[in-house]
Amino acid sequence: MSDFCVRFIGNECEDGEMMMSGEIRIGAFAESFQSSLHYWRTHDYVKQWRDGLSRLLVDHKHSCIVTSMYHPSSANFIFWWLFYLDKNIVHIQNHVLLLNDLDESFSIDNLYHYIPQRDLFDEDRNKISEWDVQLEQIQAFYDDWLKSEEPLGI
């Protein structure tokens, strides 16, 4: 079994908004997330996750998976996990992209353009939480996913 996994585990309604519950696992660490279905549907997330992981596996030095996307014209933020490749180690950080802080208008077509440089400390000099996994573990997850009848628990 791979030391990396991202998947949906069920749907629910929160404050009238349809959401998909999901989880990401990196080694012994696991965290759940809620993906809004207001703008993207589950297949949009799965498509982006596949693209984001594939991008990393073909030797891009950084990539991402989006876990909650809202309509770019009205959203203030997007939740995503950032991936930074360093040799065969992938450093993964949970991140919120604040759209109002961008120097340009956000475009979903240029999603990967907005990935910031990897920082180890925030503006207050607090250490940023980060988890490491071998690139081969992401490759193993991706390969198993491609063979799966049910992509990512959906």
In this predicted structure, the answer to whether residue 38 has a pLDDT above a threshold of 70 is yes
Angle at which helix 42-57 crosses helix 135-147, to 10 degrees, equals 130
Alpha helices in 70-153 (DSSP H): 135-147
Is the overall model pTM greater than 0.85, yes or no?
yes
Residue 98 phi/psi, 5-degree rounding, is -90, 110
154 pLDDT more than 80:
no
The side-by-side arrangement of strands in the sheet containing 4-14 is: 4-14, 17-26, 29-36
Residue-wise pLDDT tens digits, 1-25: 579 999 999 877 777 778 999 999 9
DSSP code for 16: T
Q: Which domains does the chain have, with CATH numbers?
A: 4-146 (3.30.2450.20)
